[in-house]
Amino acid sequence: MKYTQLGRTGLKVSRLVLGTMNFGPQTDEADSHAIMDAALDAGINFFDTANVYGWGENKGRTESIIGNWFAKDAGRRDKVVLATKVYGNMGADGPAWPNHDKLSAVNIRRAVDASLKRLRTDHIDVYQFHHIDRNTPFEEIWQAIDVLIQQGKIIYAGSSNFPGYKIAQANEIAARRGGTIGLVSEQCLYNLAERRAEMEVIPAARDYGLGVIPWSPLHGGLLGGVLKKEVEGKRRASGRAADALADPAVRARVQSYEDLLDKHGVEPGVAALAWLLTRPGVTGPIVGPRTGEQLASAVRAAELELSQELLTGLDEIFPGPGPSPEAFAW
């Protein structure tokens, strides 16, 4: 496994990030623990989760599964760079109570303590804002984060789903306040089929020294050989992939993509991950395996070198928007 520094920090993380969103809803605890064992054995040291994972009445379940895995072996926690997120409502089912979600100082304090308890650890390495909070000023957010850093409960702060201007705003306010390093990472939707992040989010992240952590690297399965799987009767597209394939133009593009990779003898899902690892500013994509086999496939991507011919072909099929402002101006 290859490693890189997370943005402008000195923290070394693996070029693949283990996403845990399926732990609980789709993968039971025993299999989730086996996947984490395999990830660590493969050299993946960056684990990502969120307080709401588990969803619905089971929100928080995923963090608990990870915490139970840590409790089995005290040495595991020191090997893992642990990231979780705050924003979603964690109140009891029924009408949402005020102050049980988003990024107020009150909720940040409550949420981090609850996550630490579920994760069975005394600190979180990267504490991420899962979404922007339009009603809470960054001065308040950074004040809360400063306290958590001083208490030793978190080490770094990151963002997720932030537009470029919010990345800039957050870090400019952090710089003015002093004492806070500001955001060190941004998790964004980024893959071959969805490249709008290249316009402003990734340039902002690079300018401010944030590591870029793409989520949904296969675009909900669209880039994982979905058409071939349909023909072979293995699995039909669902969710985001099914919605996209309803457009004949998208289906034709995906068919060209699969044909190109078949010509080069490369698995589609592996190629999509390997492509992200060639992109400027990308720390590593989040892979969310439901099985050990899916994890093994993702690990192969970390070692794959794509030829220039293949990279050119991928750009022709899925051209990016280009940088801003040229992407929408002259």
Q: How many CA atoms lie within 13 A of 63 on its CB side?
A: 27
Q: Residue 157's pLDDT is what? A: 98
Residue 53 token pair: 């994972």
Using DSSP, state whether 258 is helix, strand or coil.
helix
- Nearest CA to 213 out of 14, 2, 64, 11 is that of 14
Q: Cis link prior to 163 (omega < 30° from 0)?
A: no
Query: Over the Cα atoms of the chain, what is R_g?
Result: 20
To the nearest whole percent, how much of the chain has pLDDT over 70? 98
Q: Residue 93's pLDDT is what? A: 63
**Residue 5: which H helix or E strand, with range?**
strand 3-5
- Is the CB of residue 40 less than 8 Å from the CB of residue 81? no
Q: Residue 241's pLDDT is what? A: 84
Domain presence at residue 300: yes
DSSP codes joined into one string, 166-178: HHHHHHHHHHHH-
Q: Residue 94's pLDDT is what? A: 58
Catalytic residue among 53, 87, 156, 257: 53
Annotated active-site residue 127? The verdict is no
Q: Identify the bridge partners of residue 81 per DSSP, sorted by sequence position.
A: 46
Residue 234 token pair: 């293995």
- Give the domain extent around 160: 3-220+270-307
**Residue 215: which H helix or E strand, with range?**
strand 211-215
What is the model's pTM? 0.96
Domain presence at residue 313: no
* CATH code: domain of residue 204: 3.20.20.100
pLDDT digits (tens, 9 = 90+) for 232-255: 877 777 777 888 888 999 999 999
Q: Residue 231's pLDDT is what? A: 85
Domain presence at residue 321: no
How many domains, in total, are found in the chain? 1
**What is the rounded distance in angstroms from the CA atom of residue 152 to the CA atom of residue 51?**
19
DSSP structure class, residue 198: G
Q: Residue 95's pLDDT is what? A: 62
DSSP codes joined into one string, 35-63: HHHHHHHTT--EEE--TTTT-GGGTTHHH
**What is the rounded distance in angstroms from the CA atom of residue 140 to the CA atom of residue 306?**
45
Domain presence at residue 320: no
Domain presence at residue 325: no
Domain presence at residue 94: yes
Question: CA torsion, points 265, 268, 271, 276, in degrees to nearest 10?
Answer: 170
Domain presence at residue 82: yes
Residues of the chain with pLDDT under 50: none
- Is the CB of residue 112 less than 8 Å from the CB of residue 85? no
**Residue 244: which H helix or E strand, with range?**
helix 239-245
DSSP codes joined into one string, 62-127: HHHHHHHHHHH-HHHHHH-EEEEEE-S--SPSSSPPTTSSTT-HHHHHHHHHHHHHHHT-S-EEEE
Question: 221 phi and psi, to 5 degrees?
Answer: 100, -10
**What is the rounded distance in angstroms from the CA atom of residue 196 to the CA atom of residue 311?**
18
Which residue's structure tokens are 């760079």?
81
